[in-house]
Amino acid sequence: MTSIEGKVAVVTGAGRGIGRAIALELAGMGAKVALAARTVSALEETARAAGEAASVFPADVRKKEDVHKLLDQVASTLGPVDILVNAAGIGVFGQVTDFSDKDYDAILDTNLRSIFMACRYVLPSMMARGKGDIVNIASIAGKVGSATRAVYCASKFGVVGFTQSLAEEVRQHGIRVSVVCPGSTDTTFSSDPHREGKVRGKMLSPSDVAYAVRMLVTQEPNSFISEIILRPTQKP
């Protein structure tokens, strides 16, 4: 494995769930981790758990100005970004006929547009240095559609397609862009009806997803895992 000791990593959605687990994993590996999310108290809790390797950078990734400010602050205080993990995400579920414009915009802005904005802003520096890792967290819902999840699935399908296309654009610059698609994961995610009745002990844990990210960012420079689909061993 390639060491990430001293590398600068930005993790969005780092205040809870999968994002928090990824941030703790990277910090434990010696990276300098920038924790980004909207809720300062949650970020501070993650920072306490991560120790001196982590720094708090509050940001609303739905807003372009916040994304730009976040990445500028990280570059000026920690150094150029070596690893970008886009883990921020929300879910609102229901029939399309009942779905509001507000919820549609919130899902697409958080789950997809934020990834586009962060990647677009961080890539020039990575390209100039000829290296970098970008990991986008999607979902099994980005591979298979299901009822009451049309908008959520659209956002995650978009993440998968965006990641695949971007990877082809920048791989010649030494930059790896990968996507992780977890199945049912035991987090405090919103009221997804598809999780009702599932056995928590059979679900993935956030640390399982973090370990997948660990594999991606520690590959040797001449190897590239473009996609990881992660499922529980048993159906929960």
Work out the widest C-alpha separation in the chain, in whole angstroms: 50
Q: How large is the average pLDDT for residues 46-63?
A: 97
Q: Bridge-partner residues for 12, per DSSP?
A: 36
H/E segment holding residue 230: strand 227-230
Q: How large is the average pLDDT for residues 122-128?
A: 98
- Give pLDDT tens digits for 196-227: 667 777 899 999 999 999 999 999 999 999 99
Active-site entry in 104, 121, 152, 211: 152
3-state secondary structure of 228: strand
Q: 33: which DSSP letter?
A: E
Domains of the chain, first to last: 8-230 (3.40.50.720)
Mean pLDDT estimate for the chain = 95
Q: Which of 19, 54, 52 is nearest to 38 (CA)?
A: 19
Integer-rounded Cα Rg, in Å, for the chain is 17
**Amino acid of residue 104:** Y
Kindly tell me if the per-residue pLDDT of 54 is higher than 80: yes
**Amino acid of residue 220:** E
3-state secondary structure of 184: coil
Q: How large is the average pLDDT for residues 66-76?
A: 98
Kindly tell me if the per-residue pLDDT of 175 is higher than 80: yes
Show contacts of 196-203: CB within 8 Å, 24+ apart. 198/236, 199/236, 200/236, 202/232, 202/233, 202/234, 202/235, 202/236, 203/232, 203/236
pLDDT at 236: 77
Please state, in angstroms and rounded to a whole number, the distance separating the CA atoms of residues 13 and 113.
14
pLDDT at 18: 97
pLDDT at 51: 94
pLDDT at 235: 83
H/E segment holding residue 101: helix 101-108
Please state, in angstroms and rounded to a whole number, the distance separating the CA atoms of residues 143 and 21.
23
DSSP E strand stretches across 50-202: 54-56, 83-86, 132-137, 175-182
Kindly tell me if the per-residue pLDDT of 185 is higher than 60: yes
Q: Does 152 qualify as catalytic in the annotation?
A: yes
